Amino acid sequence: MSPDRDIERIVLIGFMASGKSTVGRQVATLLDWDFIDFDEEIERRTARTVRDIFAQDGERAFRDLEARLTAELAAAQHVVLAPGGGWITQPELLRAMPDGTHVVWLRISPERAVERARLSGTHRPLLAGEDPLGKAVRLLERREPLYRMADTVLDVDDRSVRELADEIVRSLSRSRAGR
């Protein structure tokens, strides 16, 4: 195992409501690493909600904020990063992550994503309004090829946070051993 194969950071990608934040927090606890949820960090720094940023400035402005935050955090060590589900629509951000980055896709079905999003209380501008399931299906269709860039894929429907977190930690050891 050469030092440059060591994993310094994990990025959890996946559709809205796939559990990036809850699972990410648990993984960070297991590893004793830091955890950063991009939506929360953007809201904290701008003192605005994601909902307001989308409504007042548009999606493009939000994507720019995600890109800036990524550039700042890309080299952070011993950290679990959970960007929002649309972060992957700028795939150059993922490609620019340095060596030592382990990317995990939490794969969720559109049906389950919409159900969880409805129950969560978090406003998701891109699923709001008429036909959220149709919107989720179409967004997922466009994004799936991008999520596939991940090193590890985990199906999250019907799995507990703890199970998923344990599996991610295990995938890390496999990756450390040289995949």
Taking CB under 6 A as the criterion, the residue among 10, 12, 27, 50 binding ligand S3P is: 50
Q: In what order do the strands lie in the sheet with 152-155?
A: 34-37, 79-82, 9-13, 101-107, 152-155
State the Cα–Cα distance between residues 126 and 27, nearest whole angstrom.
27
Query: Which member of 80, 124, 150, 168 binds ligand S3P (CB under 6 A)?
Result: 124
For 158, phi then psi, to 5°, come to 65, 20
- Interface with ligand S3P in residues 5-24 (CB under 6 A): 16-17, 20
Instruction: Evaluate whether 152 touches 23 at the Cβ level (below 8 Å).
Output: no
Q: Give the residue, chosen from 30, 126, 137, 161, that forms a contact with ligand S3P under the rule CB under 6 A.
A: 126
d(CA 118, CA 141): 20
Does 94 bind ligand S3P (CB under 6 A)? Our answer is no
Segment near ligand S3P (CB under 6 A), from 71-79, 121-129, 149-157, 164-172? Answer: 121-129
Binding residues for ligand S3P restricted to 145-174, rule: CB under 6 A:
none
Using rule CB under 6 A, residue 86 touches ligand S3P: yes
**CA 2, CA 135: separation in Å to the nearest integer?**
44
**What is the spatial distance between Cα 110 and Cα 133, in angstroms, rounded to a whole number?**
7
Shortest distance, position 76 Cβ to ligand S3P, whole Å: 19
| 8 A C-beta contact, residue 17 and residue 59 | no
Q: CB of 179: closest distance to ligand S3P in angstroms?
A: 27
91 binds ligand S3P (CB under 6 A): no
Q: Rule CB under 6 A: is residue 84 a binding residue for ligand S3P?
A: yes
User: Between residues 106 and 172, which has the closer beta carbon with respect to ligand S3P?
Assistant: 106
Q: How far is the CB of 113 from ligand S3P (least distance, A)?
A: 9
In this structure, the number of other CB atoms found within 10 A of the CB of residue 119 comes to: 9
- Provide the binding-site residues for ligand S3P, judged by CB under 6 A: 16-17, 20, 39, 50, 84-86, 124-126
